[in-house]
């Protein structure tokens, strides 16, 4: 999905909600475990309940890889079930030397045709650039995350700037706002403002809303640009809104609430 189409969907739905399908078999309703494919049964119900309010789904591949071949099959079925007008993210955080990254890119852009994949930039340009060779596909590069351990490296001084600032500026030069997004944590408005000033055109994938303490207003007020420019990811706060048989209904209600908070920032 190219940038123009993504923006059209955002303003049509008046939403920047990304629902994270971090499907943990220990947390889904117990009765689903009797299904032939419990993860897909859960995901299918969540998608049906939330698709009117979301513009993206993020599949955290770890929760599927951990199940072996069956998990990969669940992931593929989930990807194929997502409506074609909704942006798809493989949250795989890949990044290795060039020829290995080429294979990772083929995995998530060809074998499993996601619109985007999350990428770790620690190994430098040759670990990221192979992902940028696919037209209409996006690399979502780790920039500034909201976890406690981000201070170990990202917030360390690197010359006359912090390491994450150097990463953002450098990676942005490898591609364009048409094929690179950045993961930017949602918990501190000052950092959102700073990163938006550094990267006025790029899209940000913003985790940390909901269970991690971030909120929609902080993100929209401080990180929006003229094209919206953000995808706000919520995982646990939507998909695990209920552990009962009403789990899908409750997920839909939570997704609708988030979209309701977002629509005021997205004038038709």
Positions marked catalytic: 93
Contact 38, 28 (CB under 8 A): yes
Q: Which residue shows structure tokens 């997704």?
A: 255
Contact 134, 1 (CB under 8 A): no
Distance separating alpha carbons of residues 150 and 136, to the nearest angstrom:
30
Contact 11, 214 (CB under 8 A): no
Residue 130 three-state SS: helix
C-alpha distance across the termini of the chain, in Å = 21
Contact 175, 132 (CB under 8 A): yes
Rg (alpha carbons) of the chain, rounded to whole number: 18
Joined tokens for residue 128: 């990221």
Distance separating alpha carbons of residues 248 and 242, to the nearest angstrom:
8
CA 247 to each of CA 23, 43, 154: distance values in angstroms, whole numbers, following the listed order: 13, 11, 37
| Phi, psi angle pair for 41, to nearest 5° | -60, -45
CA 21 to each of CA 39, 82, 147, 191, 209: distance values in angstroms, whole numbers, following the listed order: 10, 11, 19, 27, 15
The upper half-sphere exposure of residue 91, i.e. CA atoms within 13 Å in the direction of its Cβ, equals 20
Q: Which residue shows structure tokens 């696919």?
A: 134
- In 3D space, the residue among 254, 258, 252 whose CA is nearest the CA of residue 231 turns out to be 258
């Amino acid at each position: 999905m190219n940038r123009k189409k993504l923006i059209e969907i955002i303003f049509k739905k008046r939403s920047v909600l990304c629902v994270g399908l971090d499907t943990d078999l220990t947390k889904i309703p117990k009765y689903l475990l009797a299904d032939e494919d419990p993860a897909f049964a859960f995901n299918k119900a969540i998608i049906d309940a939330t698709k009117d309010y979301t513009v993206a789904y993020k599949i955290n591949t770890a929760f599927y890889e951990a199940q072996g071949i069956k998990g990969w099959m669940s992931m593929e079925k989930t990807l194929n079930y997502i409506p074609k007008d909704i942006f798809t993210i493989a949250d795989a955080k890949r990044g290795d030397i060039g020829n290995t990254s080429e294979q990772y890119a083929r995995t998530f852009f060809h074998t499993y045709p996601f619109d985007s994949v999350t990428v770790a930039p620690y190994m430098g340009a040759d670990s990221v650039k192979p992902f940028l060779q696919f037209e209409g596909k996006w690399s979502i590069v780790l920039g500034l995350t909201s976890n406690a351990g981000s201070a170990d490296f990202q917030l360390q001084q690197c010359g006359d700037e912090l390491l994450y600032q150097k990463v953002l500026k450098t990676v942005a030069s490898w591609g364009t706002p048409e094929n690179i997004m950045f993961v930017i944590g949602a918990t501190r408005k000052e950092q959102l403002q700073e990163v938006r000033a550094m990267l006025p055109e790029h899209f940000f994938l913003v985790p940390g809303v909901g269970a991690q303490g971030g909120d929609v207003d902080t993100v929209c007020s401080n990180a929006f640009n003229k094209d919206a420019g953000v995808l706000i990811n919520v995982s646990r706060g939507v998909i695990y809104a209920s552990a009962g048989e009403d789990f899908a209904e409750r997920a839909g209600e939570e997704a609708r609430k988030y979209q309701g908070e977002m629509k005021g920032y997205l004038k038709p």
